Amino acid sequence: MTGAGEGLSADDVALFTARAEAARPPSQKLPPGQWAKKNLFDGFANIIFTLVFGFAGLAVLFFLAVWVIDADYEIVRRNLRIFMIGQFPKNELWRPAVSLLVVMAGVGFTSGALARNAHDLALEQDLPTEKSSWVSLIRRFWAVIAVVIFFVSFARTLTPYLLVAGAFALLVAGRELGWAINAAVRARAIYIGATIFLLSMLVIAGTSSLGGLSLGLITLFWVAGEVGRRDLPGGVVGLTIRWGIALVAAIVVYAIEVAIPYDGFGWENWGGLHITLFTTVLGISLGMPFGILLALGRKSDLPVMKTASVLFIEFIRGVPLISLLLFSNLMLPLFLPIDFERPADLTLTIVVITGFSAAYIAEIVRGGLQAVPKGQTEAAQASGMSAGSVQRLIVLPQALRAVIPAMVGQFIALFKDTTLLQIIGILEFLRVTDVANVQPDFLGKGLAPVTYLFVALGYWAFAYTMSKESRRLETKLGVGVR
């Protein structure tokens, strides 16, 4: 059995698809008459298929189009802000605005820098490469761009238009900067991206505890990263020094930050599309380190580690997310010490979602670990590397590179799963439809389908674009082709 035998969902099969499609001969251009004959009217059965399905498809599209054009979008127009950021206090709207601008600049910068890194690597190895043109980027991200324009077209004031334009401008500028900046900075692109994301979280939440958390995490990764670049003794000693310094620095920053009292308002008021995207990003990025640890644990020969990892992974994967969310809401607070206040619902949820994605990421990473040829490990051992170094420097980088597309798949899955937050009463993107439909002006007007259309398009655009990107990455990384 191949790696696919271990059951990594549809992603493995997607590899086969990518491989098979790459191997296909390029299609020939036929004149329209011949093309129609070959593709539409080739034989009796084909003619029937073409007529029946063609008619049915056109009919569905026609009625859908008529309905979409005819529908009354006032409910969306009036509730646009709730759909986007939930019940964020009205006089603090600069926070999400600034946060959006910061994040877009960060996304632009990181993607530009990563693209340039890949570009340079390809040049080094004499592979064909070129900078993606803006036209090709627009073609790749058309769905998200179209939906953002669709969404913003419901705005009743100028501010959202300006905000989106500004965000787009910063995205472009960030990308160009990331592409142009020197290699030393580009090598730290991921850290910079994560820092910017956490800073945006600080801006939007603005409480000392959340601020301390985000700044502490930033410090942890930066210090660990920078110390890791120095020559350290190998093995446990090096690891201890590296993470010890990082941890101390992070705790100091956290303590300083928390000692400064200032008050934003945590994340109790978050909602809408913002909470959906935020929970997804945070769930995956927090789940990643735990997932990798679990995967290594599951591959380990040590029974304690192996049993614990297997139990955790199989338990989480065996129960539906709803039951875990019910657990987070009704039971998780019961495990806290008695003098602890109950944390915000979102905090509880993120704890559970982190564990949830960790279990799934662990299985993905395990598939990647299996794909690394045994010769790699053996060669590394033969050259006298310690067990830890073999994993950290040889096996994991290759395994993680191989599973990037599957990881994007997990990201999409979690993005869709965040709809379940409504079951425990969090005002995520989908639940805004419920809230909007009971407002006195819209109650009983049968406008629910309009809101569902709006929401479904939002989910679709993001998920569709990401799945396209993951397939593109697959081909580009040559996963499964080697």
Q: Which is nearer to another protein, 69 or 302 (CB)?
A: 302
When binding is defined by CB under 8 A, the residue of 215, 223, 350, 455 that contacts another protein is 455
- Distance in angstroms (rounded) separating the CA atoms of residues 284 and 414: 8
Contact characters 57-86, another protein, x per CB under 8 A: x--------------------xx-xx---x
Residue 39 within binding range of another protein, rule CB under 8 A: yes
Which residues inside 388-447 make contact with another protein, applying CB under 8 A? 412, 416-420, 422-425, 427, 430, 434-441, 443-446
Element (H, E) at 302: none
* CB environment 268-295: b (16+ within 10 A), e (fewer): ebbbbbbbbebbbbbbbbbbbebbbebb
Minimal distance, residue 40 CB to another protein, in Å: 6
Mark the segment that binds another protein (CB under 8 A) among 50-58, 134-142, 176-184, 185-193. Answer: 50-58
Q: Which is nearer to another protein, 115 or 210 (CB)?
A: 210
Minimal distance, residue 393 CB to another protein, in Å: 19
When binding is defined by CB under 8 A, the residue of 10, 146, 187, 255 that contacts another protein is 10
Minimal distance, residue 225 CB to another protein, in Å: 26
Minimal distance, residue 210 CB to another protein, in Å: 17
Which residues inside 175-234 make contact with another protein, applying CB under 8 A? none
- Helices 208-229, 235-259: crossing angle, 10 deg rounding: 150
Question: Is there a contact between 123 and 193 (Cβ–Cβ < 8 Å)?
Answer: no
Which residues inside 338-357 make contact with another protein, applying CB under 8 A? 338, 341-342
Minimal distance, residue 470 CB to another protein, in Å: 12
Minimal distance, residue 342 CB to another protein, in Å: 5
Minimal distance, residue 114 CB to another protein, in Å: 24
When binding is defined by CB under 8 A, the residue of 32, 128, 318, 375 that contacts another protein is 318
Mark the segment that binds another protein (CB under 8 A) among 120-128, 224-232, 316-324, 389-397. Answer: 316-324
Which residues inside 463-482 make contact with another protein, applying CB under 8 A? 463-464, 467
Contact characters 13-32, another protein, x per CB under 8 A: xxxxx-xxx-x---------
Q: Which is nearer to another protein, 118 or 413 (CB)?
A: 413
Minimal distance, residue 376 CB to another protein, in Å: 20
Q: Which is nearer to another protein, 5 or 128 (CB)?
A: 5
Q: Which is nearer to another protein, 342 or 476 (CB)?
A: 342
Which residues inside 223-282 make contact with another protein, applying CB under 8 A? 268
Q: Which is nearer to another protein, 153 or 183 (CB)?
A: 153
Q: Which is nearer to another protein, 188 or 416 (CB)?
A: 416
Residue 382 within binding range of another protein, rule CB under 8 A: no
Which residues inside 81-140 make contact with another protein, applying CB under 8 A? 81-82, 86-88, 90
Q: What is the 3-state secondary structure (H, E, C) of the chain?
A: CCHHHHCCCHHHHHHHHHHHHHHCCCCCCCCHHHHHHHHCCCCHHHHHHHHHHHHHHHHHHHHHHHHHHHCCCHHHHHHHHHHHHCCCCHHHCHHHHHHHHHHHHHHHHHHHHHHHHHHHHHHHCCCCCCCCCHHHHHHHCHHHHHHHHHHHCCCCCCHHHHHHHHHHHHHHHHHHHHHHCCHHHHCCHHHHHHHHHHHHHHHHHCCHHHHHHHHHHHHHHHHHHHHHHCCCCCHHHHHHHHHHHHHHHHHHHHHHHHHCCCCCCCCCCCCHHHHHHHHHHHHHHHHHHHHHHHHHHHHCCCHHHHHHHHHHHHHHHHCCHHHHHHHHHHCHHHHCCCCCCCCCHHHHHHHHHHHHHHHHHHHHHHHHHHHCCHHHHHHHHHCCCCHHHHHHHHHHHHHHHHCHHHHHHHHHHHHHHHHHHHHHCCCECCCHHHHHHCCCCCCCCCCHHHHHHHHHHHHHHHHHHHHHHHHHHHHHHCCCCC
* CB environment 175-188: b (16+ within 10 A), e (fewer): bebbbebeeeebee
Mark the segment that binds another protein (CB under 8 A) among 9-17, 223-231, 286-294, 392-400. Answer: 9-17
- Distance in angstroms (rounded) separating the CA atoms of residues 41 and 50: 7
Tokens in use for 318? 């065996």
Q: Which is nearer to another protein, 285 or 439 (CB)?
A: 439
Residue 376 within binding range of another protein, rule CB under 8 A: no
Minimal distance, residue 385 CB to another protein, in Å: 14
What are the φ and ψ backbone dihedral angles of 154, each rounded to 5 degrees?
A: -85, -5
Minimal distance, residue 185 CB to another protein, in Å: 35
When binding is defined by CB under 8 A, the residue of 34, 37, 49, 159 that contacts another protein is 49
When binding is defined by CB under 8 A, the residue of 37, 131, 317, 476 that contacts another protein is 317
